[in-house]
Amino acid sequence: MDFRGKTFWITGAASGMGRALSLKLATYQVRLIISDRDEAGLVATAKEITSRNSTVRIEPLDMLDAQAIEQTAKRVIADGEKISGLYQFAGISQRSLLIDTPMENIRKIMEVNFFGVVAHTKAVLPHMIENGGGQLAATSSIVGKFGFPYRTAYSASKHAIHGFFESLLAENSKYNIKTSVLIPGRVQTNISKFALEKDGSEHGVIDPGQANGISAEKAANMIFNGLKKEKKEIWVGATEMQMVNIRRFLPWLYYKLAPRIKPM
């Protein structure tokens, strides 16, 4: 992928990895479309983008609203934007045991993390094909590769991302469509702070493991390099990423370790 001078749409751009990647790309004189439900955060991100000699368009979005996602995409495309990359970071996590988690919470997590991503992808994909191709990236998680305590719905939503994008690539690689699934481990973002407790309230704190993770800026550099190389999976983290290999090559050890890992 040659980024310079192209247009990229980034969701979850008000904070965390989405914001960090937006600012990284802004140094390449691109045009950015940034989305998030946090409009004030988007305005702050936009100011930094323009200070780096790139142009920006703000499109507030709530990933719970698939209809709004589709309508916004249609409007953006109708305005003449030629989207070379759609990079999706918006998501919501969980901090509750399955036995305590109401179906309402499970459905909300799936709507944001999976169905919102699917809706946005479907809305942009025909446009990319018509324009000769494009790059689609979506955020999974280290627990999109294996199960983890207190993350049943979250892990399921991220597992679904892998199946969706692998199938999408198999269907559309002939149209020069590239896909990357981002697999972050412990990164210093607000995802644990806004995770859902069993009663639907926000967790409210950044978990120690996350607080000690890599910075969002370092994560953005890893993601940028992976997108540039058009990697199908982009691992983002430090030593905790070895759990993916343990699950793959030593499943017996994973099943022994998983119940002992501190989930918060």
Q: Strand pairing of 83-88 and 134-139?
A: parallel
Where helices occur in the chain by DSSP H, the ranges are 16-26, 39-51, 66-78, 103-110, 116-130, 152-172, 208-211, 216-228, 242-249, 251-257
Whether residue 135 contacts residue 125, with contact meaning beta carbons closer than 8 Å, is answered with no
Place of tokens 């918060």: 264
Distance, CA of 169 to CA of 189 (rounded, Å):
29
Q: Which of 172, 165, 170 is nearest to 234 (CA)?
A: 165
Annotated active-site residue 175? The verdict is no
Of the residues 28, 154, 175, 254, only one is catalytic, namely 154
Residues annotated as part of the active site: 154
